[in-house]
């Protein structure tokens, strides 16, 4: 019996050596810090993806991640090309100039928060400035409209002015030559839940924004194409009887 036990103990290192070879396919290839926002570039060598991980250097924060295809090799160059600050709200534009990808990031520097991001294709030689083209305040909800001329994108940032909240962000294609501001044309309150319908007139978008007025909340935004006001209405005609009388 003792001989069997000794044999098993001696054979354990050989069993460990027989395991399959494991390679490291995820590597950090870059890092950018802008004030209290950290952006780490993670490269997935197996799927040829570049992933950007965003997080805020506060307690209880949560990171967010966005990935895209690597254009040539695995090179990337992330820089901040635009930003603005409004109270506790910070919006930054990050751009990968090698892979032609831009990311809009919205966050607040409060414990327990997390950033909200939207990444999309951009152009190499273009104007990178962010333009605030509208602001709407309804109750404790602030909606900011931001235009990114580089990618012909319009982004809405929703933020509830209560402690510990996190912003929400959504981007869509800008409408050429569009005019008009942000308006609320309807709202609903049921218990603690609030839903507001916000219309972006210049881009023909109708957005529902929902949130609760409690600490630690964050709004959720859903946008769709609005009904054009100049769309012709259907004509109502009297029905023709099947067997008219002579």
47: left (phi over 0), alpha (psi -120 to 50) or beta: alpha
Helix (H, G, I), strand (E, B) or coil at 17: helix
Helix (H, G, I), strand (E, B) or coil at 10: helix
Kindly report the pTM of this predicted structure.
Answer: 0.77
Q: What is the pLDDT of residue 13?
A: 53
Q: What is the pLDDT of residue 145?
A: 95
Q: pLDDT tens for residues 195-220? A: 999 999 999 999 999 999 888 788 99
Total residue length of the chain: 246
Q: Which residues on neighbouring strands pair with residue 223, listed in sequence order?
A: 207
Q: What is the pLDDT of residue 229?
A: 43
| CA-to-CA dists, residue 82 to 46, 94, 105, 126, 166, angstroms | 32, 7, 11, 13, 21
| Closest residue by Cα to residue 192 from 162, 219, 212 | 212
For 148, other C-beta atoms within 10 Å of its C-beta total 25
| Closest residue by Cα to residue 216 from 91, 61, 55, 36 | 61
Helix (H, G, I), strand (E, B) or coil at 3: helix
Q: What is the pLDDT of residue 233?
A: 42
Q: What is the pLDDT of residue 12?
A: 53
Contact between residue 202 and residue 175 where contact means Cβ atoms under 8 Å apart: yes
The two three-digit tokens of residue 39, written as one number: 């952006």
Residues 6+ apart with CB under 8 A from 203: 154, 172, 173, 174, 175, 178
| DSSP string across 6-30 | HHHHHHHHHHHHTSPP----EEEEE
Return the DSSP state at 45.
T
| Closest residue by Cα to residue 90 from 27, 137, 34 | 34
CA distance 107 to 15: 50
Blockwise average pLDDT, block size 10, the chain, 246 residues: 49 55 78 94 90 89 91 86 90 92 91 89 76 91 91 92 86 89 94 95 95 87 75 46 50
Residues 6+ apart with CB under 8 A from 47: none
Edge to edge, the sheet with strand 26-34 lists 26-34, 37-44, 49-56, 64-69
């Amino acid at each position: 019996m003792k001989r069997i036990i000794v044999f098993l103990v001696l054979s354990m290192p050989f069993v460990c050596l027989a395991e399959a070879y494991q390679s490291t396919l995820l590597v950090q290839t870059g890092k950018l810090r802008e004030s209290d926002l950290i952006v780490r570039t993670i490269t997935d060598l197996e799927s040829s993806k570049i992933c950007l991980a965003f997080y805020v250097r506060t307690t209880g924060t949560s990171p967010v991640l966005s990935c895209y295809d690597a254009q040539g090799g695995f090179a990337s160059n992330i820089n901040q090309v635009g930003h603005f600050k409004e109270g506790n709200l910070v919006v930054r534009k990050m751009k990968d100039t090698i892979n032609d990808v831009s990311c809009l990031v919205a966050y607040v520097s409060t414990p327990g928060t997390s950033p909200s991001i939207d990444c999309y294709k951009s152009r190499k030689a273009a104007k990178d400035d962010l333009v605030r083209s509208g602001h709407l305040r309804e109750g404790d909800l602030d909606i900011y409209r931001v235009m990114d001329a580089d990618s012909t994108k319009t982004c809405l940032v929703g933020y509830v002015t209560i402690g510990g909240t996190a912003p929400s962000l959504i981007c869509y294609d800008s409408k050429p030559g569009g005019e008009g501001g942000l308006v609320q044309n309807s709202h609903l309150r049921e218990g603690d839940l609030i839903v507001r319908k916000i219309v972006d007139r210049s881009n023909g978008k109708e957005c529902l924004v929902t949130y609760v007025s409690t600490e630690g909340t964050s709004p959720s935004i859903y946008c769709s194409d609005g009904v054009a006001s100049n769309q012709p209405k259907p004509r109502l005609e009297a029905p023709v009887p099947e067997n008219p009388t002579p």
